[in-house]
Amino acid sequence: MTLNFQPLLEQWPYLLGGAWISLQIAVLAFAFGMLIGLLCAAVLRYGPRFARRIVSAYVIFATNTPQLVQIYFLFFALPEVGVTLSPFTAVLIGATFNAGAYLCEIQRAGFDSVRQMEIEAAEVLGFSTPQIIRHVILPHVLKVMFPPLSNQFIVMTLGTSMASIFGVEELTGRTYNLSSQTYLSVEAFSIAAVLYIAITLIATLVLASAGRYLFRAKIKAF
Amino acid sequence: MPQLEIVDLKASYGSQKVLEHINLSVEKGEIVSLIGPSGSGKSTLLRVLMGLLPPEQGTVRLDGKSVNYANKAEVRELRSSIAIVFQQYNLFQNMTVLENVMITPTRIKGWPKAQVEADAIRLLTRVGLAHRLKAYPDELSGGQQQRVAIARALALKPEVLLLDEVTAALDPELVTEVLDTIRELASEGITMFIVSHEMSFVREVSSKVVFMADGLVVESGSPQQIFDNPQEPRARDFVGKILRH
Ligand SMILES: Nc1ncnc2c1ncn2[C@@H]1O[C@H](COP(=O)(O)OP(=O)(O)OP(=O)(O)O)[C@@H](O)[C@H]1O
Ligand SMILES: [Mg+2]
């Protein structure tokens, strides 16, 4: 078998553009998912029973069904109720829906790990409640959550390849297009694999060093 | 005028009365030790003084001014005049030794950083930890952590320091270093309340010993009086028991 990368490498702006879209989906879904997760974690901790039930049901559903099924569901269900979305938006909503549940669990565990004794220590030193949150709770929680959050982000980045199924021209989608135009499938997908590795590698390194620097989190990059 | 005056103090946990008729008057620089059986209310008295448990009745006067424990801001203010160290050295785990000592004066009080840092280093030198400024709590022994906690409590230059069984969670070989630190502070004229089971230490450093039982002050006096010649039967019983150990 002879490999011929040349025609594909000439298309690098097209492929990099695809990688950029993948990264956009991952970052946006992660950011919105964090917000939903925070809200859900707060409800689970402080909310009334009824609200806690709903959040629990959401988390159980979202973490126990395939993400692909969730996106399909949205993709077909939303137009039925009169909402038409671009493939990008539909995929983003699906990914956010899924991420919110995982990020809720991560944040809840983080908040549960705060040491009550440190809070009391801060109290007797004369800290006010906002000062306790700012100086004691948040730094601790961020540090504890950092490794699982980084992990989740990587998983989500790779998960964006599902978007190609719905016609979003991200990295996997564009690779598929090139492969069918040139019939150089093995080469095309090798390049995609290398690009995915590069993205996750860079993200892992950036996150690990940020974590080490900001939170003294002991994160193994590999 | 006494520096700290406790008048007819009463406190409860829910419906359970824990302190009653507590009267104590402490002069500046005095070292007052609270002793008594488990559950007698020693910790509770310190918690009330710190504003962690609102008193049900009675008055606490600091430098002649009575403290309003219902006022949150006043209680926060009080916490720079009275400091406490607990049995469990609950340092901030995400901060270095130096940051633990500096955070309250800089971030809460807004004191100038350079001055605070110089003071913090001086304090940490005094407790024998000048060489571990950049260490994190989980890299220190229990005795070292407890000494950092003492330095942290002193960072706001409190007038009164409360120590609640600060050596009780330590391995025996680490107790001495912490007691040495307290002994040194005692000689420097800061007013202290000490709850401790280290009776020979209590006897040595205290200017006054208060024996408590069932939420009451049963007897108080000089260490000689309480340890050698207690008047009240319950005090005699307690002292007899612990001295036989
Ligand atoms: N958080 C709490 N809630 C309810 N009751 C409490 C609480 N803390 C202490 N008590 C009760 O108050 C009483 C006094 O307890 P306290 O801790 O002040 O005793 P102590 O003299 O410090 O004892 P020890 O030597 O064991 O530390 C005890 O009967 C105890 O059971
Ligand atoms: Mg106690």
Query: Is B92 close to A127, i.e. CB distance below 8 A?
Result: no
Q: How many CA atoms lie within 13 A of B137 on its CB side?
A: 19
Q: How far is the CA of B45 from the centre of ligand 1 (A)?
A: 10
Report how far apart the first and last C-alpha atoms of chain B are (Å, whole number).
Answer: 39
State the pLDDT at residue B245. Answer: 64
| Nearest CB to A124; choose among B52, B77, B94 | B52
Tokens 């280093």 identify what position? Answer: B121
Which residue's CA is the nearest one to ligand 1's atom 10?
B13
Pick the CATH number of B1-81+160-171+184-245 from 3.90.480.10, 3.90.700.10, 3.40.50.300, 1.10.10.10: 3.40.50.300
Query: Is A124 close to B156, i.e. CB distance below 8 A?
Result: no
Q: How confident is the model at residue A220 (pLDDT cuts 50, 70, 90)?
A: low
- Ligand that comes closest to the CA of residue B211: 1
Q: How far is the CA of B41 from the centre of ligand 2 (A)?
A: 7
Ranges in chain B annotated CATH 3.40.50.300: 1-81+160-171+184-245
Number of Cβ atoms within 10 Å of the Cβ of B173: 9
pLDDT of residue A218 exceeding 60, the answer is no
Give the model confidence (pLDDT) of A110-158 as tens digits.
Answer: 989 988 899 999 999 999 999 998 899 888 888 888 889 989 999 999 9
State the pLDDT at residue A217. Answer: 52
Domains of chain A, CATH where assigned: 10-215 (1.10.3720.10)
pLDDT of residue A221 exceeding 60, the answer is no
State the pLDDT at residue A8. Answer: 86
A51-88 as b/e, with b when 16 or more CB fall inside 10 Å?
eeeebeebbeebeeeebeebbbebbeeeeeeeeeeebb
Give the residue numbers in B contacting A (CB under 8 Å), as ranges: 50, 52, 76-77, 79-80, 83-84, 86, 88, 90-94, 103-104, 107-109, 136, 149, 152-153, 156
Query: Are the C-beta atoms of B188 and B27 separated by less than 8 Å?
Result: no
ipTM: 0.89
| Nearest CB to B93; choose among A118, A122, A125 | A118
Query: Is A125 close to B52, i.e. CB distance below 8 A?
Result: no
- Tens of pLDDT along chain B (245 residues) come to 899 999 999 999 999 999 999 999 999 999 999 999 999 999 999 999 999 999 999 999 999 999 999 999 999 999 999 999 999 889 999 899 999 999 999 999 999 999 999 999 999 998 899 999 999 999 999 999 999 999 999 999 999 999 999 998 888 888 888 888 888 888 888 999 999 988 989 999 999 999 999 999 999 999 999 999 999 999 999 998 887 76
What CA–CA distances, in Å, run from A6 to A3, A10, A44, A171, A182?
9, 6, 54, 18, 11
DSSP label at residue A65:
S
Minimum CA–CA partner of A136 in chain B:
B92
Which residue's CA is the nearest one to ligand 1's atom 24?
B38
Helices (H), chain B: 42-50, 72-78, 97-103, 113-126, 142-154, 172-186, 199-205, 223-228, 233-244
State the pLDDT at residue A143. Answer: 83
> Can you tell me the mean pLDDT for A105-114?
92
- Worst-scoring range by mean pLDDT, A187-191, A213-217, B115-119, B173-177? A213-217
Q: How far is the CA of A42 from the centre of ligand 2 (A)?
A: 34
Strand partners, B57: B10
Closest by alpha carbon to A119, among B46, B56, B88? B88
